[in-house]
Structure 1
Amino acid sequence: MFDHISDAYAQPALVRLRPGLYGLRFESMKVASALGAVRQLMADGVIEPGDTLVDSSSGVYAYALALACRRYGFSCHIVASPIVDPTLKAQLRLLGATVDQPSQTDDPSQDQAGRVERVKEYVKNNERAHWMRQYHDRVHYHGYTIAARQITDGLAADRITLVGGVGSGASTGGLSTALRQSGVDVEVAGVQPFGSVSFGSQDVEDPEFLIAGLGSGIFFGNIDYSAYRTIHWLDFSYARSGSVELLRDHCVFAGLSSGASYVVADWHATRLGGDERHPVVFVIPDTGHRYVQAVYNESPVVTRDRAPLAIDGPESLRLPWCLTDWEHHGHRFSRPEADPS
């Protein structure tokens, strides 16, 4: 039994899809991240009940932080992406959060940067406000310890390939850190959209890509670049096809980042021959409800029909799917500079 609904959301289910391939399915993954961060910051004396916790979000983290604030007695202020819909805004307000939603610009990366500036301004003008820095503070790694324990308890394997979308870097970073601390040999395959600056694909545009929370247009300090063995870039059509396959073949209703991770995990598991001694686990961060129109409406067509193009530098990046041995070639890909603030 759970003492609070947030604990239920934070605890994933490890689901076997076929021999050697598993999905780590969350109801709302960022709840684990927000809860872990709030608990650690409280323990360290950085925040105390009555403070206002603030951050920018495209939706999932906003809901997670509002839950954590309601549970532990904090006020919550969210600078929301233009894509945050009225349904989520209504939930945030009923949970006691205040919402500031700037208008959309023509450049999504500028939306992201602009929201961060509004967060900084809010904290500057409110004495008891604390910026949670979901993109920059590795305190968000702490929330994934329980999920990592579920993997080690559920799989009798000393070696695991972990596949996950890299947004802020907290989920793949937190899971891989906790798994390594438990003695598991982990190979991490990170998944990115084309156009993200995080791993150097900003010069390759995919106009259809709609994934919020995967990839970035600005520097994210939570990303531990040394943690990744390989990086995969997928376009919208392949991510969408992965989501459709997940539901059609495995009854898992999930979002676009889950679909992209499934495509990559399925490829890795096939190459490993379904070996249960070296299973592949991919992260399913949320359900597919907010992607119904973009992914599941009418009769979606699966277009995945090829393996990734292996590249060793950014000049070879092209749609629909590329991969690189990040451990050996990562130094050739540009990365965004740190925000001095």
Structure 2
Amino acid sequence: MSAVEHVADAVGRPDLIRLDDGLYCLRFETMKVLSADAAVRHLLDTGRIAPGDTLLDSSSGIYAIALALACHRYGLGCHVVGSTTVDDAVRIQLELLGARLDPMPPSDDLKLDQSRRVARVHALLAADPRLHWMRQYHDDVHQLGYRPVAETVRDALGPVPLTVVGGVGSGASTGALARYLRAADPPGRRTRLVGVQPFGSVTFGSEHVADPDIIIAGIGSSIPFGNVEHAAYDVVHWTGFGAALSGSVALLRRHAVFAGLSAGAAHLAACWERSLDVDRTVLFVAPDTGHRYVGGVFARHTEAEPVEDLAPHPVGDTAELALPWSRMEWAGAPAPPAAVPGPDAAIPAPRARPAGVHPGRG
């Protein structure tokens, strides 16, 4: 056993778990630790930030912890504009890690909550030019941390025909994994990428379908993201809360993997993709543990349907999407119009430190 230099290395390190013939789970304790740590290290190495600077971003919880760990490791200040969904476990960790949490007021409207966070970030940037906005939803720098993961996966599985399944999110996880895996694909054999989305997300055009029970917004968004490469996706699955709950419960019952709700949605989609082509190895991503979902998901396990009784509604156009589960051959199509950040999205280039201003923690 070798020691790690910082707890971030242990928390971000994934485990590859064989669940069945041709079906694997890539399980993380906290997946975004990888992307935040690699992004911050790259920014330091390239001189875009310096020790003592303060890093700013918006988060519903998981990325907040990841960024706070990176800032703790590299001697940086951390300022998080937190969603109304940030719970006490996240809040207390941020406090003890020295991060500043700027919470949003209570709201049952995730779209309103996200819009408020974006507005607050812009207000903070305008007030303090020393802040560096990490732009997890827009900057490709967050993809760098997944290169070693892709190398580990390929080394472990060998040159098998591979399908990767997982939440789309900000575009820095499944999109990056597929990019790095494809770069090493054998000639004539392309890694397939299957994205998982919640209903109500603009990212792949499901904003017109409301899921009243949605609590998996972390894999989708009510606002356009700038670093999602839509053309990289071969297939998209949209899963409602009930379908994702069934996937999560089955993952724990059958395989003893205690993972979050987005992992349940990915598990459901992965099993379906495996059934369609048994000659391909299917790998799905479990980005976090199930602790945040004990009350909202696992305590409701009696509501879970047997996953073998579930099947996605096949659609040829996003106008046909319907709860509780839909599937579409995306086939490398471009982003839907609503998913493209417009000129008013105000996604600034990383700002240079003003001359004569000493970096501070803020």
Range with bigger deviation, 211-220 or 99-108: 99-108
Give me the whole-angstrom Cα distance separating, in 2, the residues matched to 1:257 and 1:175.
Answer: 17
Indicate which of 285, 288, 306 corresponds to 1:286. 288
1:320 aligns with 2:320: no
| Partner residue in 2 for 1:260 | 265
Give me the whole-angstrom Cα distance separating, in 1, the residues matched to 2:246 and 2:133.
Answer: 37
* Ranges of 4+ aligned residues in structure 1 off by more than 6 Å: none
1:87 aligns with 2:92: no
Equivalent residue runs for 1:70-219 within 5 Å: 70-183=72-185, 185-219=190-224
Range with bigger deviation, 292-301 or 214-223: 292-301
Give me the whole-angstrom Cα distance separating, in 2, the residues matched to 1:309 and 1:35.
Answer: 39
| Partner residue in 1 for 2:339 | 336
Change (3 A) 1:299 1:105: closer
| Partner residue in 1 for 2:56 | 54
% same residue: 50
1:234 aligns with 2:234: no
In the alignment of these two chains, the number of paired residues is: 337
Change (3 A) 1:175 1:111: same
Q: Match for 2:339: what amino acid?
A: P
Task: For residue 298 of structure 1, report the CA deviation from its aligned partner.
Answer: 5.4
**Unmatched segments (≥5 aa) in structure 2:** 347-362
Q: Aligned to 1:170, what secondary structure does the other structure show?
A: coil
Give me the whole-angstrom Cα distance separating, in 1, the residues matched to 2:67 and 2:301.
Answer: 35
**8 Å CA contact retained: 1:158, 1:183:** no
Q: Match for 1:194: what amino acid?
A: F
Kindly provide the CA deviation profile for residues 177-208 of structure 1, in whole angstroms up to 9, marking residues without a partner as x.
Answer: 11112225211000001111111110111101
Give me the whole-angstrom Cα distance separating, in 2, the residues matched to 1:318 and 1:270.
Answer: 22
Q: Aligned to 1:263, what secondary structure does the other structure show?
A: helix
Indicate which of 43, 46, 51 corresponds to 1:44. 46
| Partner residue in 2 for 1:306 | 310
| Partner residue in 1 for 2:353 | none
Change (3 A) 1:314 1:77: same
Q: Match for 1:335: what amino acid?
A: A
Kindly provide the CA deviation profile for residues 51-110 of structure 1, in whole angstroms up to 9, marking residues without a partner as x.
Answer: 100000000000000000000010000000001011210100100000000103342112
**8 Å CA contact retained: 2:230, 2:334:** no
Task: For residue 252 of structure 1, report the CA deviation from its aligned partner.
Answer: 0.2
Range with bigger deviation, 240-249 or 34-43: 34-43
Change (3 A) 1:174 1:94: same
**8 Å CA contact retained: 1:11, 1:146:** no
**8 Å CA contact retained: 1:135, 1:168:** yes
Task: For residue 45 of structure 1, report the CA deviation from its aligned partner.
Answer: 1.2
Give me the whole-angstrom Cα distance separating, in 2, the residues matched to 1:299 and 1:11.
Answer: 29
**8 Å CA contact retained: 1:14, 1:150:** no
Kindly provide the CA deviation profile for residues 156-176 of structure 1, in whole angstroms up to 9, marking residues without a partner as x.
Answer: 234210001111111011111
Give me the whole-angstrom Cα distance separating, in 2, the residues matched to 1:281 and 1:331.
Answer: 24
**8 Å CA contact retained: 1:36, 1:140:** yes
1:28 aligns with 2:30: yes
Give me the whole-angstrom Cα distance separating, in 2, the residues matched to 1:313 and 1:241.
Answer: 25
Query: What is the TM-score with the length of structure 1 in the denominator?
Result: 0.95
Q: Aligned to 1:41, what secondary structure does the other structure show?
A: helix
Give me the whole-angstrom Cα distance separating, in 2, the residues matched to 1:285 and 1:300.
Answer: 24
Give me the whole-angstrom Cα distance separating, in 2, the residues matched to 1:334 and 1:270.
Answer: 32
**8 Å CA contact retained: 2:249, 2:301:** no
**Over aligned residue pairs, what C-alpha RMSD do you find?**
1.5
Give me the whole-angstrom Cα distance separating, in 2, the residues matched to 1:240 and 1:106.
Answer: 20
Kindly provide the CA deviation profile for residues 196-240 of structure 1, in whole angstroms up to 9, marking residues without a partner as x.
Answer: 111111011110111141110001011001110001111111100
Range with bigger deviation, 204-213 or 219-228: 204-213
Q: Match for 1:70: what amino acid?
A: H
Q: Aligned to 2:80, what secondary structure does the other structure show?
A: strand
Give me the whole-angstrom Cα distance separating, in 2, the residues matched to 1:253 and 1:158.
Answer: 27
Change (3 A) 1:61 1:28: same
Query: What is the TM-score with the length of structure 2 in the denominator?
Result: 0.90
| Partner residue in 2 for 1:269 | 274
Task: For residue 339 of structure 1, report the CA deviation from its aligned partner.
Answer: 4.2
Give me the whole-angstrom Cα distance separating, in 2, the residues matched to 1:53 and 1:113.
Answer: 20
Task: For residue 127 of structure 1, report the CA deviation from its aligned partner.
Answer: 2.7
